[in-house]
Structure 1
Amino acid sequence: MRLADIKGDYDGIFSLGWLCLTAIQLERNGLRPFAGPIDFVASYTLPDISRFLRNRGEGFMERGHLRFEHTFGGTHHLVKETAYNVISNHDFFAHQNDPVNLEMYAYVKTKYDRQRARLLERAANGKRLLFVRCGGTFDEVKELRDTLDEFVSHDYNLLHVSETSTKTLKETDWPLARVCSVELPGDHESVWNGNHDYWSYMLSDICYRELD
């Protein structure tokens, strides 16, 4: 697929990671009408996200799956969710949570349960969904596509972004149905600050519509 093929209206738009960058860019472009469970966790391994979808997120963020990693910048505890190998970067503020007790856990778990339920509802009822994922090899993206074929009841597209040594936006024309894959400049400054115009271009003429 090409970028031109993913234009149009969607009644569900979800980030599938790998960092919060994906959700941030959707937000910047007015395409994050609600939060999803993968928005603000670090999901480095795409096969684990495919497994999350196949399992319909069962067991996600259960208390027994959480392991304190370290405190970042003195303000946030980084906590690993070991069932699906993601890192919670933004949920447990150091001034509110002891690293062992995680006093805000009940609030955090309720939030993720609500987001997971919304994802499942849209996967079942949405007429056309868009998923956006940064990172992953061709074979990993193919596995994700095959998983989404089973997970989503109706139509969907997957926008896959690779951050590489390219100097500009490049459409890669991967031979995967429902998948539009592009490359963007991958140096740190470009990823976080320099690629905004590319993201706006990719997401132009894409709109969110309320589910009928």
Structure 2
Amino acid sequence: MKLEDLKGAYSAIFSLGDLCLTSLQLRDNNLRKFAGILDWVSSPDLKKVNMLLKDQFADFLNPDNLRIIQYVSDWDLLVWDEIYNIGFNHDFKTDKNTLFHLGGYGEVKEKYDRRIHRFLENLSTGQRILFIRTEANREEAAELESILSTMIESDFSILIINHTDVNDLVEKEWSLNKVCAIELPNQDKWNANNHYWKRILDGVSLL
């Protein structure tokens, strides 16, 4: 799938990790209707994200699978879901949560339950959906394509953006029908690639 094939209108655009970068870019380019499940978490392992999707989010944020790691700021505690290898460093606030007790767990779980319901509802009713994932290999992307094909009846596309030692935007040929793979410079992916993201998302809109 080519970058040009991504152009057009979508009923929803979702970030599938691996960090907050995609959500920030979608927000800055006015392509973010609402919060997604993986917008503000760390999800370094796409195989685990694929498992999460295949499992329909079963046991996601199960308290038996959560490990409290450390304070990451005066306001936030880092909590890790060890089943799906997902880190929450913006959700568990220090006014209600400590290294020994997640007093705000109920609120966090309720928030993510709402996002899961909205995500699955969009998958079942959306006309055309775009998923964006940073950092993935071809095998993981192929598995993601296969899983989403079983969950979505309408059209969808997957954009994979890997950050490597390239000096410009590079399209890769992965020969996957629903996947467009791109490489961007890794030197300063948080601040130096905004013009590439605008180029990538040019012609993409929301219904």
Using structure 1 for the length normalisation, give the TM-score.
0.94
State the percentage of identical aligned residues. Answer: 38
Counterpart-to-counterpart distance in 2, 1:159 and 1:133: 6
RMSD: 1.1
For residue 158 of structure 1, report the CA deviation from its aligned partner: 0.3
Matched with 1:140 is 140
* Matching of residue 195 in structure 1 with residue 193 in structure 2: yes
1:202 maps to amino acid: I
Is residue 90 of structure 1 aligned with residue 93 of structure 2? no
Residue of structure 1 equivalent to 2:25: 25
Tell me, yes or no, if structure 1 residue 106 matches structure 2 residue 113: no
Which residue does the alignment assign to 1:72?
72
Equivalent position SS for 2:147: helix
Report how far residue 159 of structure 1 moved.
0.5
Q: Name the structure 2 match of 1:208.
A: 206
Distance 1:110 1:32 in 2: 21
Deviation at 1:96, TM superposition (A): 3.0
Q: Could you tell me how far apart the structure 2 residues matched to 1:71 and 1:150 are?
A: 39
Secondary structure, in 3 states, of the residue corresponding to 2:112?
helix
Give, as a single letter, the amino acid of the residue that structure 2 aligns with 1:195.
N
Deviation at 1:135, TM superposition (A): 0.6
AA paired with 1:87? G
Counterparts of 2:162 and 2:98 in 1: how far apart (Å)?
Answer: 37
Distance in structure 2 (CA, Å) of the matches to 1:177 and 1:13:
18
**Separation of aligned partners in 2, 1:81 and 1:152:** 26
| Offset, 1:72 | 1.2
Query: Which 5+ residue runs of structure 1 have no aligned equivalent?
Result: none
Q: Which structure 2 residues correspond to residues 43-82 of structure 1 after superposition, within 5 A?
A: 43-82=43-82
Equivalent position SS for 2:78 = strand
- CA offset at residue 104 of structure 1? 1.2
Per the alignment, residue 118 of structure 2 pairs with 118
Stretches of structure 2 lacking an aligned partner (at least 5 in a row): none
Counterpart Cα distance in 2 of 1:183 and 1:23:
18
What do the CA deviations read for 1:50-74 (whole angstroms, capped 9, x no partner)? 1111111112112222110111134
Code of the residue aligned with 2:200 in structure 1: it is M
Q: Give deviations 1:131-152, integer Å, cap 9, x for gaps.
A: 0000111111111111111121
Runs of 4+ in 1 over 6 A off after TM superposition: none
